[in-house]
Amino acid sequence: MLIRCAWCHTTTGNRPPYGGKHDAEIKNGICDDCLTHYFPHEAEKVQKLKEAEEAARAAYNKATEAAKTALNEVRKPANH
Ligand SMILES: [Zn+2]
């Protein structure tokens, strides 16, 4: 869905709006520039949220890799 910035009226494309799934139905959003300009405190929170999501994703990928490696070790035929 197309997100339109309610402040400067530019469209931000198909990028999901800020605020998580609750805001997903709202077509009026806010672009990066306006967020930083009008809500510096919120922008900081969004940035921290992004970083937290990024860290969570990295941790998940690492755990998935570790699990795969462990499974491969278990499945290896034993050397008798
Ligand atoms: Zn804007």
Taking the centre of ligand 1 as the mean of its atom positions, its distance from the CA of residue 41, in whole angstroms, is: 16
Beta strands 4-5 and 28-29, pairing class: parallel
Note down the domain range covering 33. 4-75
Taking the centre of ligand 1 as the mean of its atom positions, its distance from the CA of residue 47, in whole angstroms, is: 17
In tens digits, the chain (80 residues) has pLDDT values of 677 888 998 876 655 555 555 445 547 788 888 999 999 999 999 999 999 999 999 999 999 999 999 999 998 887 66
Taking the centre of ligand 1 as the mean of its atom positions, its distance from the CA of residue 16, in whole angstroms, is: 14
Domain count along the chain: 1
- Whether 40 is covered by a domain: the verdict is yes
- Whether 10 is covered by a domain: the verdict is yes
- Whether 80 is covered by a domain: the verdict is no
Taking the centre of ligand 1 as the mean of its atom positions, its distance from the CA of residue 33, in whole angstroms, is: 6
CA distances to 4, 71, 75 from 37, rounded to whole Å, are: 17, 49, 55
Look at the alpha carbons of 56, 57, 63, 67 in this order and tell me if their dihedral is positive or negative: positive
- Whether 17 is covered by a domain: the verdict is yes
